Amino acid sequence: MTSTDTLVVVPPEQVVPTGRLTRLIATSRQLVSFGAIGAFCFLVDLGVYNLLRFTVLDDKPIAAKVGSAVISTAVAWVLNRSITFRAERTSGRRETLREGALFALTNLIGLGIAAACLFVSHYLLGFTSTLADNVAGNGVGLVLGTVFRFAAYKALVFRSRDARRTKELTE
């Protein structure tokens, strides 16, 4: 700074984020929302599983787990569609069905990632304790599957043409 330069202090509320910062803020908000919905749906899955397991499917734990996974996935789709990716979701019956199918497929792949981590740890590396299985499947596998799901939702599932066109016009 030279003696002729004037220092201007801009209050934080007058700073308007642009470009990369705007996208970073938007993605950060989506990540927080996505994480909160994921935590809620984990509780839905757990609750529905136990409800089914201790009532109508008391002797069928696999059926109870499949039922709870289907219900929690449906809840996750509705909440992510309505909250996290509301600006990118599709409109129209055909597009919405496509979005739902891609969401289900993405979740199956995410489950496969977690199962693959458990398989590698348990069968290939020989870590067979309950703790090792939980770390591999519910730790590493869950994190990798979640990262994959978020990226796939953003890139493939919630990608309406209208939302892309609006984003291109604003950039």
Neighbouring CB atoms inside 10 A of 163's CB total 17
For the record, the structure tokens of 120 come out as 């590698």
- How many angstroms separate the CA atoms of 160 and 166, rounded? 10
What is the three-state SS of 110-148? HHHHHHHHHHHHHHHCCCCCHHHHHHHHHHHHHHHHHHH
Name the strand (E) or helix (H) holding 48. Answer: helix 19-53
Closest to 35 (Cα-Cα) out of 133, 153, 159? 153
- Residue 7's region, left for phi above 0, alpha for psi from -120 to 50, else beta, is beta
**Residue 73 predicted with pLDDT over 90:** yes
The model's pTM is 0.73
What pLDDT does residue 17 have? 57
Give the C-alpha distances (Å, rounded to integers) separating 129 from 89, 134, 140, 145. 42, 9, 15, 22
CB 1 within 8 A of CB 7: yes
- How many angstroms separate the CA atoms of 80 and 76, rounded? 6
What pLDDT does residue 12 have? 65
| pLDDT band, very low/low/confident/very high, at 20 (cuts 50, 70, 90) | confident
- How many angstroms separate the CA atoms of 80 and 93, rounded? 18
CB 37 within 8 A of CB 80: yes
**Residue 18 predicted with pLDDT over 80:** no
Q: pLDDT of 108-159, one tens digit each?
A: 999 999 889 989 998 999 998 989 888 888 889 889 999 999 999 999 999 8
